[in-house]
Amino acid sequence: MSEALTTTVDGRVDDADQLYLLRLGEQVRRLRARHGVTRKILARESGVSERYLAQLEAGRGNVSILLLRQIAQALNASLQDLVAVEAEPPTELAHAIELLRRLPPDALAEACRGLARTYGGDEAERRRRIALIGLKGAGKSTLGRLLAQRLNVPFIELDEAVEAAAGMPLAALFDLYGQAGFRRLERQALERAIAAHPAAVIAVGGGLVSDPATFELLLARCRTVWLKASPAEHMQRVIAQGDMRPMADNDESMADLKRILEARGPLYARADLEVSTSGRSAEEALDDMVNALG
């Protein structure tokens, strides 16, 4: 497949086109960081070379629609999500976005929670399910089990539920189905967990928030807690668990980790509550979470 860069007939790209290409590259980078996908992994899953992805992200790639479709599919996004960097939203949506944009961070988080409460579903039911979100190494599995024991409700590790349903480990699932296929299985596992358990503690994978439909379902049907830790602690805990899959073949793992945290931070911040696990024992963090949950 040819991946040669293209320009206008006279060999130049005008200012408007160059601005669009820069924004397109930023959008690819943003989606890649949100999913926690390195350029090497995206190249493998999309079939587009790593060299060309680097050119695209730098705003130097006038990419064909077929290659863009491959990239969008690998990022579990629609082609519209990828290319509509200048699309005009409906008037009502544009007005709502502008109102939300003016809010300070705390007020914005509260506004999002209010929308979820008003339009997301039954609030009493939602509060009986507690979902723990955050990057791998935040303590979701450890604290989730302890919290479930204290509340006397089932504990569900969503990644384990996906593995059980598919009959294979996560690494094999990613190799076989790619990012997009895994996200579909993840959503199905969440739907089953919600249908089967009116009360539970659910620990979800760090990348779930990058799938808008699945994350909205989680916010609407569960009370969410963002477990936070410093980048260094995230890395130390992942290494201690012996799982380097998110950082495989990447010499700049800490820089990538910080970019992922930065990209996902606004999504994690939509949680109902935030609890820091940095420099705290499991028992201390658990007490903080129970007090915050009320």
d(CA 181, CA 175): 10
Q: In this structure, what is the dihedral angle of CA atoms 18, 24, 30, 36, given to the nearest 10 degrees?
A: -120
CB atoms near residue 39 (< 10 Å): 18
d(CA 132, CA 140): 6
Binding residues for Mg(2+), by number, are: 141
Binding residues, by number, are: 137-142, 159, 183, 206, 245, 264, 280
Binding residues for substrate, by number, are: 159, 183, 206, 264
d(CA 50, CA 42): 8
d(CA 261, CA 258): 5
d(CA 227, CA 277): 7
Binding residues for ATP, by number, are: 137-142, 245, 280
Q: Per DSSP, what are the bridge partners of residue 200?
A: 129
